[in-house]
Structure 1
Amino acid sequence: MTWKVVEELRNILEIFVVSFKLGCTSFGGPTAHLGYFQNEYVQNRQWLTDKEYSNLVALSQFLPGPASSQVGMGIGLLRGGLLGSIASFIGFTLPSVLLLMVFAYFYAHTEMEMEWIHGLKLVAVAIVAQAIWDMSKKLIPSLRHFLITLLALSVLLFWMNPFAQMVVIIVAALVGMKFLKESTANKESAGIILPISKTTATLLLLLFVILLIGLPVASSLFQFEWLTIIEKFYISGALVFGGGHVVFPLLETQFVQSGLISPSDFITGYGVTQAVPGPLFTFASYIGMLIGGIPGAIVATIAIFLPAFLLIVGVLPFWMTISRVARLKGMMAGVNAAVVGILAAAFIHPIVTQSIQGGMDILIAIGLLVLLIRWKIQPYLLVIVGIGVGVIFY
């Protein structure tokens, strides 16, 4: 085994370990996950810059699928190629998959006290607030940038539609191309070399389309239970716009209305999925466990995340090329400013609206934010503090 291979394996292992730690501590939903990612990958490890990270976030808003998981896959790709992307996905997803599989097996025989979860919601408030503040200092350098951010925030607060984020980013890109040309002369992202060719990326995008069309056709022609399950999860993962929460009604249509699981089992799993760290798409692991045991959970997890993987890896090389073209720097500056507004809108609703229920919650959230900013406490320690707060006060 050559030294180069050893270094590559060590790099892949590091990606897995870091993402696994995030998978164990990232509570609070997709927007909170982006805050955790920004803290770990950008601030602490400096694996990519704020602008590169913001570009990834913007791309994830364009694409269907779980936004935070796609950002993690993209970071893994930039850091370690295709294997790095897979390692990042497995590490971030594995903790919640295992927790939901265990719960799916034992939930009927176990009574769980859920009050402590409220402390984790307040942790999410602090994490996302810090992420928005850090990103805004670097991505909103002028009044024009701020106006784009404010417009994005306002639109998303008053127009709650799954396609609203995509519309906001497209408009911000056009406005930035027109009005932010002079403010984006730096070439910070020019040195990025993606460890994947555009030919490979094109093949992955082609595979995405083939599966999207072919699985429903094959499922209707061949009455094979496992093929039907794969088709239902793949289609659900491929058609979700607007964040992880949107996957729940799609899964309800696919599995409850078809009689594969009961409404009671579905609702129970929905509640528990909110309580575990990691991506909301792992709700599929719970459903798969109920339907087909451990093999069902594994198949369900792979099937629902596969579209996200094919899309982010397939589109990213083209996206990063566009972001390096000088005349399109203004477009990316507009998109970056809009991303801050998008995160701020999601911070207000649903994170704050579902987490802050009174004066005590406000004081605790501020205290957690002080720990994060003033004392530089690590997010996983903040999670432990949040659990303690939830046990004591709720």
Structure 2
Amino acid sequence: MGSLSFLLDFFDDRSINTHVLQFIQPMAIGFIAYSAFKVFKVAVHNPITRIITALATIVTFIAFKTPWVFPALILAAGIATNFSDKRIPQKEVPPKKVNWGNLIIFFSLFAIAGYLSERATQKNWSNRKAYNLFENSYRFGSLVFGGGDVLMPMMYEQYVVRPTTKRVQLTKRDVLKMDKDEFLTGSGIVRAIPGPVFSIAAFTGGMVLRSDNSTSEQLLGCLLGAAGIFLPSALLVLFFFPVWHNLKKYAVIYRSLEGINAAVVGIMAGATCYLLKDIILVQLWNRPVIGAIDMAVIVATFLLLQSSKVRAPFIVLGCIGIGWISLAWL
């Protein structure tokens, strides 16, 4: 995925036609829509989770440009499902001592990364974007519940939508940014590569730190993006599992997870709606034929994934094939 950021840069520098990849972008939306549907069947099973999912979908769609919407929804959902103890009652278990000291490293890194990122931006450090990238990646890896399909909307908001907001433009803040077509291309190509979807962080890291005169900065972006996204998982495995062994005795944790999983479904559904509005509707208005094909690709991707008979890499190859054919016909 890191090499893909160099490949797209190579194509851009030499004005090479990349339209062969154009239908990878709607395919990526189809993957997110299917993931929301798949998690919905598992996580949404009673009135409170249905309400949380519906509200999270609406709030995500309306407030997508607001960076705090994702953690706020997750936190609020975890609290909401604890107002009733009828579904998941607390069993009589001996109280267990929770050793919170194991999480000091995790939370300390979170705080330090945030402080250094903000400090680097305020003081205009020469390497400030590297600090910003690590903080973003570490934050994504820490807050994502539900895997890589929740990561995509967070990254899209951070790197594509946020730089276009009025607040950023008025303050002229030099934020990390990507073109939306390039982002969706990367989020589609990652489906064809073995390994976790989190590896897209290497691609986004390279893209946001690419420079006209420094290949080393782009390579650093690939490394920082990958390290930052996977580090929280490694720390949680090392330090959180002993704590979880005691925490899982308490029903409040399971109630919170019930709400969080429902919110994750809403976030993915809201993000799907936002992407359809942001990309497909614009395409339908400007280029109706291409827009109609995009919609067909989204629906076909969803149906193929639902059938469980076609593997993701073959769907990616199929979309590349459609793009190649379209070069001659459209």
Kindly state the Cα deviation for residue 173 of structure 1 after the two structures are TM-superposed: 1.6
Correspondence for 1:346: 271
- CA RMSD in angstroms, aligned pairs only: 4.2
Q: Distance in 2 between matches of 1:391 and 1:98?
A: 22
Correspondence for 1:7: none
After alignment, is 303-312 or 347-356 more displaced? 303-312
Correspondence for 2:77: 172
Please tell me whether residue 243 in structure 1 is matched to residue 134 in structure 2: no
Kindly state the Cα deviation for residue 326 of structure 1 after the two structures are TM-superposed: 2.0
Letter in 1 for 2:25: K
Kindly state the Cα deviation for residue 345 of structure 1 after the two structures are TM-superposed: 0.8
Judge conservation of contact 2:52–2:77 (CA < 8 Å) in 1: yes
After alignment, is 319-328 or 136-145 more displaced? 319-328
Letter in 1 for 2:304: L
Residue pairs, 1:215-234, within 5 angstroms: 228=128, 230-234=130-134
Correspondence for 1:80: none
Judge conservation of contact 2:29–2:275 (CA < 8 Å) in 1: no
Correspondence for 1:332: 257
- Gap change, CA 1:283 and 1:198, over 3 Å in 2: same
| Aligned counterpart for 1:272 among listed residues 182, 186, 194 | 182
Q: Distance in 2 between matches of 1:153 and 1:101?
A: 35
Q: Distance in 1 between matches of 2:173 and 2:215?
A: 21
The TM-score, its normalising length taken from structure 2, stands at: 0.65
Provide the secondary structure at the position in 1 that maps to 2:18.
coil
Correspondence for 1:388: 321
Kindly state the Cα deviation for residue 344 of structure 1 after the two structures are TM-superposed: 0.9
Provide the secondary structure at the position in 1 that maps to 2:269.
helix
- Gap change, CA 1:354 and 1:244, over 3 Å in 2: same
Residue pairs, 1:141-290, within 5 angstroms: 141-160=45-64, 161-179=66-84, 181-184=85-88, 201-213=103-115, 228=128, 230-234=130-134, 237=137, 243-245=154-156, 246-248=158-160, 271-276=181-186, 277-278=189-190, 279=200, 282-286=203-207, 288-290=209-211
Q: Distance in 2 between matches of 1:258 and 1:144?
A: 40
Correspondence for 2:26: 122
Give the paired residue count.
Answer: 278
Provide the secondary structure at the position in 1 that maps to 2:205.
helix
Please tell me whether residue 369 in structure 1 is matched to residue 302 in structure 2: yes
- Gap change, CA 1:123 and 1:171, over 3 Å in 2: same
Q: Distance in 1 between matches of 2:10 and 2:131?
A: 24
- Gap change, CA 1:133 and 1:232, over 3 Å in 2: closer
Letter in 1 for 2:309: K
Provide the secondary structure at the position in 2 that maps to 1:178.
coil
Kindly state the Cα deviation for residue 126 of structure 1 after the two structures are TM-superposed: 3.2
Superimposed CA distance per residue, residues 113-132 of structure 1 (whole angstroms, 9 cap, x where no aligned partner): 32x43422332343233322
Kindly state the Cα deviation for residue 325 of structure 1 after the two structures are TM-superposed: 2.5
Provide the secondary structure at the position in 2 that maps to 1:243.
helix
**What is the identity percentage for the equivalent residue pairs of Structure 1 and Structure 2?**
15
Q: Distance in 1 between matches of 2:120 and 2:59?
A: 41
Kindly state the Cα deviation for residue 333 of structure 1 after the two structures are TM-superposed: 1.0
Structure 2 spans left out of the alignment, 5+ residues: 92-98, 144-152, 191-199, 285-290
Kindly state the Cα deviation for residue 224 of structure 1 after the two structures are TM-superposed: 8.8
Higher relative contact order (CA 8 A, sep 6+): 2
Kindly state the Cα deviation for residue 342 of structure 1 after the two structures are TM-superposed: 1.3
Superimposed CA distance per residue, residues 153-199 of structure 1 (whole angstroms, 9 cap, x where no aligned partner): 122223332222222222222221113x3434799xxxxxxxxx975
Structure 1 spans left out of the alignment, 5+ residues: 1-94, 188-196
The TM-score, its normalising length taken from structure 1, stands at: 0.56
Kindly state the Cα deviation for residue 354 of structure 1 after the two structures are TM-superposed: 1.9
Judge conservation of contact 1:126–1:366 (CA < 8 Å) in 2: yes
Kindly state the Cα deviation for residue 347 of structure 1 after the two structures are TM-superposed: 1.4
Correspondence for 1:378: 311
Provide the secondary structure at the position in 2 that maps to 1:155.
helix
Kindly state the Cα deviation for residue 324 of structure 1 after the two structures are TM-superposed: 5.6
Judge conservation of contact 1:233–1:304 (CA < 8 Å) in 2: yes
Judge conservation of contact 1:208–1:310 (CA < 8 Å) in 2: no
